[in-house]
């Protein structure tokens, strides 16, 4: 049960609890969080408050949700290494709606935006690639 602390939103406190459970390994990667109904009872809050808490973790890329199934701690796959050509510029941002659809990018996952010296550019999902400096 959550004892509401002044100055912090209820859902933020629930999110903090869940984050703690994830970081400590009590809920390891690939494993589900409790169901929304269970968390409601566990923390003594409404469903919307639970959902907002989970939404925070989703935006952080910490949790992935499948409708009708559950909310799972995201696993970190091995990253493929990129080394863009000299003179390239690399930025990072959240994907556009189109990029998320086309590249199948999950919530809370940014993209690398690699601009080549010739001006061409491409997006790479940051949960699949890393950049190596030559």
Partner DNA sequence: CGAGATTTGTGCGTATGTATT
Partner DNA sequence: AAATACATACGCACAAATCTC
CB of 62: closest distance to DNA in angstroms?
A: 14
Structure tokens at 94: 């959240």
Q: Does 88 bind a second copy (CB under 8 A)?
A: yes
CA distance 91 to 79: 18
The residues, any chain, with a CB within 8 Å of residue 1's CB and separated by 6 or more, are 42, 43, 44
Q: Does 46 bind DNA (CB under 7 A)?
A: yes
Distance between CA atoms of residues 78 and 25, nearest Å:
19
Residues, the chain? 134
- Residue 33 binds which entry of a second copy, DNA, none, with Cβ cut-offs from 5 to 8 Å by kind? DNA
Q: What angle do CA 115, 110, 75 make, to 5 degrees?
A: 130
Q: Does residue number 93 form part of the binding site for a second copy (CB under 8 A)?
A: yes
**Binders of a second copy in range 22-51 (CB under 8 A):** none
Residues contributing to the site for DNA (CB under 7 A): 4, 9-12, 32-33, 35-37, 45-49, 51-52, 54, 65-71
- Site residues (vs a second copy, CB under 8 A): 15-16, 19, 56, 59-61, 79, 81, 83-97, 107-112, 126-127, 130-134
């Amino acid at each position: 049960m959550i004892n509401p602390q002044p100055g912090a939103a209820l859902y933020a406190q629930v999110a903090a609890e869940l984050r703690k459970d994830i970081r400590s390994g009590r809920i390891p990667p690939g494993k589900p969080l409790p169901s929304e109904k269970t968390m409601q009872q566990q923390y003594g809050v409404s469903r919307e408050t639970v959902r907002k808490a989970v939404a925070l973790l989703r935006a952080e890329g910490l949790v992935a949700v499948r409708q009708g199934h559950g909310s799972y701690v995201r696993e970190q796959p091995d990253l493929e290494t990129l080394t863009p050509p000299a003179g390239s510029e690399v930025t990072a941002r959240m994907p556009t709606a189109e990029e998320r659809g086309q590249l199948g990018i999950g919530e809370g996952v940014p993209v690398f935006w690699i601009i080549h010296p010739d001006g061409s550019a491409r997006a790479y999902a940051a949960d699949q690639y890393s950049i190596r400096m030559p």
